[in-house]
């Protein structure tokens, strides 16, 4: 009796938690039993009721899979991809995890990964200190207020909702299958899985070429951020400055322009008694000109100029100081940390062997990550050579990278190469949530327009109104989408868009 043909296609359930990624893939084995793959599971710290929301998502995953995940994919260290693995929540205690896939950049024993991690950890510590100081400061300039908001927003990717470092979330996930962790990289052969003869998985990124980890922008040309050495120096300088200005500490900053014995501590100048120590001392000058208010009834500022009316600026002279302006360095460091982490995203392309059709899950890949695919090639067992651009040409489904941001979907070397008439896409983003954290356009209008040009109406947004029961903008089956379903799920904040959308793909 002839054996049953291998089922074609698979199902992807995308959770719509606002800002975050969580994708449950169901591949049918040759015997029709399910093979489950979970790609990330997290929500951004800014989402109201995010912890309760992840409780519901994990419960739904358990109900769908029976608690069995064959492969857990952790694409990169950002909380909106890993927050569900909060150790204290113990959400995955009842799950059985077969394997864990992570990028080579997460290995604790890989020398290149260790060097990258040194930068990440020093930068994270320095930025956390900068955030603390900016949030404790009063009367910041508009520029520093914007810096404070930006640094805090970026740190939202690196800390969980309760302040734990992202590393704790990753370690909790690793503990689910500590003996079955696979570190993936583009140099390895396409991955085949027992029981899934019709599936071939390609690891597109992250590249080991460090040049690609640094490329974060591209519009006709690419702009490179500082190299690792510059980033480390920046983090070290900030850390030394924090230590030097801490109460009771001894200055020890090798980058400082003056010897530690030169000058007066800023904290000493703040003390009210400092100004009265000597009438013409530097302490008195600093008190009169920078730490005010001046002592009434004299003029607000002692100077040779004629006395002027007592104004608010003269009574409170903090606007004259640059106590916190030096923290502007943290803006560059924050962008380096965020962009480099995104460029280390584990990117997977799933190919159906019988049709050659490709399904691309790009995590938060940014420009350098995308460009590295063009240098990647694989030789199959039959001798055929597969290249990154060839996979893009055969892509029929694209999980849009980095929530649809402006620098996470390439044009000429990315989307323009996805020429299949069946191309469809999913964007895991809620635009209102993105605005709440001051991200501006996300998803980016230019990316949306390009997707509509290539996919037609088959662009599914996590915040689309029609997911609540309205009329679909496209017929099913259409393109690579053979069927579509939505699931219930109202979060604590009452937003009915916190649900899932499931597509059958082929």
Q: Domains in the chain and their CATH numbers?
A: 10-123+152-225+335-505 (3.60.15.10), 255-330 (no CATH)
Residue 245 is predicted with a pLDDT of 47
pTM over 0.85: no
pLDDT by residue for the chain (506 residues), tens only, comes to 444 555 579 999 999 988 899 999 999 998 889 999 999 999 988 888 888 889 999 999 999 999 999 999 999 988 889 999 988 889 999 999 999 999 999 999 999 988 888 777 777 677 777 777 777 766 666 666 766 776 676 666 666 555 567 888 999 999 999 999 999 999 899 999 999 999 999 999 899 987 777 665 554 422 233 344 444 444 444 454 444 444 444 445 555 555 656 666 666 666 665 445 555 577 777 777 776 664 444 444 444 444 454 454 445 666 666 666 666 665 565 556 555 666 788 999 999 999 999 999 999 888 888 989 988 999 998 999 999 999 999 999 999 988 787 777 888 889 999 999 999 999 998 888 877 776 667 788 888 999 999 999 999 999 888 887 778 899 999 999 999 998 875 444 456 556 899 999 99
Residue 284 is predicted with a pLDDT of 73
Maximum CA extent, the chain: 107
Alpha-carbon distance of 413 to 472, in angstroms, equals 31
Give 303-342 as a 3 state SS string: CCCCCCCCCHHHHCCHHHCCCCHHHHHHHHHHHHHHHHHH
Residue 45 is predicted with a pLDDT of 83
Q: What CA dihedral angle connects 465, 46, 165 and 51, to 10 degrees? A: -70
Residue 489 is predicted with a pLDDT of 55
Omega before 293 cis (within 30°)? yes
Residue 227 is predicted with a pLDDT of 42
Residues 6 or more apart whose CB falls under 8 angstroms from that of 25 comprise 10, 11, 12, 13, 36, 37, 38, 39
Residue 307 is predicted with a pLDDT of 47
Alpha-carbon distance of 200 to 196, in angstroms, equals 8
For residues 499 and 467, the answer to whether their CB atoms sit within 8 Å is yes
HSE (CB half, 13 Å, CA atoms) of 65?
30
Residue 143 is predicted with a pLDDT of 67
Beta bridge partners of 385: 379
For residues 264 and 290, the answer to whether their CB atoms sit within 8 Å is no
For residues 16 and 463, the answer to whether their CB atoms sit within 8 Å is yes
For residues 428 and 16, the answer to whether their CB atoms sit within 8 Å is yes
For residues 83 and 42, the answer to whether their CB atoms sit within 8 Å is yes
Q: Which 8-state DSSP code applies to residue 38?
A: E
Whole-number Cα distances in Å, 85 to 61, 88, 89, 169, 351: 13, 9, 8, 5, 29
């Amino acid at each position: 009796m002839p054996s049953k043909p291998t089922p074609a296609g698979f199902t992807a359930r995308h959770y719509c938690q606002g800002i975050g990624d969580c994708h449950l893939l169901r591949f049918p084995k040759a015997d029709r039993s399910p093979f489950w793959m979970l790609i990330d599971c997290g929500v951004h710290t800014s989402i109201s009721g995010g912890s309760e929301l992840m409780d519901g998502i994990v419960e739904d995953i358990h109900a769908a899979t029976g608690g069995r995940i064959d492969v857990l994919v952790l694409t990169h260290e950002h909380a909106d991809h890993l927050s569900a693995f909060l150790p204290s929540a113990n959400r995955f205690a009842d799950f059985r995890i077969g394997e864990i896939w992570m990028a080579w950049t997460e290995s604790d024993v890989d020398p290149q990964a260790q060097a990258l991690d040194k930068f990440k950890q020093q930068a994270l510590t320095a930025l956390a200190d900068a955030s603390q100081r900016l949030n404790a400061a009063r009367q910041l300039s508009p520029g520093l207020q914007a810096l404070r908001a930006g640094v805090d927003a970026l740190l939202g990717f690196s800390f969980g909702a309760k302040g734990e470092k992202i590393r704790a979330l990753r370690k909790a996930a690793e503990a689910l299958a500590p003996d079955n962790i696979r570190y993936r990289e583009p140099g390895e052969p396409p991955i085949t899985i027992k029981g899934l003869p019709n599936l071939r998985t390609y690891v597109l990124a992250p590249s080991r070429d460090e040049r690609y980890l640094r490329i974060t922008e591209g519009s006709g040309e690419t702009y490179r951020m500082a190299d690792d050495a510059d980033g480390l120096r920046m983090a070290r300088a900030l850390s030394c400055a924090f230590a030097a200005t801490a109460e009771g500490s001894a200055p020890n900053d090798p980058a400082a322009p003056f010897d530690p014995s030169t000058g007066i501590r800023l904290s000493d100048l703040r003390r009210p008694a400092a100004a009265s120590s000597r009438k013409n001392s530097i302490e008195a000058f600093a008190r009169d000109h920078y730490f005010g208010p001046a002592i009434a009834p004299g003029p607000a500022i002692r100077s040779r100029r004629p006395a002027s009316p007592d104004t608010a600026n003269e009574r409170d002279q903090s606007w004259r100081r640059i106590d916190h302006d030096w923290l502007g360095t943290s803006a560059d460091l924050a962008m380096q940390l965020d962009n480099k982490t995104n460029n280390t995203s584990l990117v997977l392309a799933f190919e159906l062997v019988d049709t050659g059709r490709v399904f691309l899950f790009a995590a938060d890949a940014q420009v350098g990550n995308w460009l590295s695919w063009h240098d990647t090639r694989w030789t199959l067992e039959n001798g055929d050579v597969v290249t990154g651009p060839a996979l893009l040409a055969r892509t029929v489904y694209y999980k849009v990278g980095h929530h649809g941001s402006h620098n996470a979907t390439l044009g000429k070397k990315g989307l323009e190469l996805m020429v299949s008439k069946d191309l469809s896409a999913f964007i895991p983003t809620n635009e209102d949530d993105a605005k709440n954290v001051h991200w501006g356009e996300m998803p980016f209008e230019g990316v949306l327009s390009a997707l509509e040009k290539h996919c037609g109406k088959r662009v599914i947004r996590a915040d689309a109104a029609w997911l609540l029961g309205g009329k679909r903008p496209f017929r099913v089956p259409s393109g690579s989408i053979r069927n579509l379903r939505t699931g219930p799920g109202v979060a604590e904040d009452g937003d009915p868009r916190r649900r899932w959308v499931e597509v059958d793909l082929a």
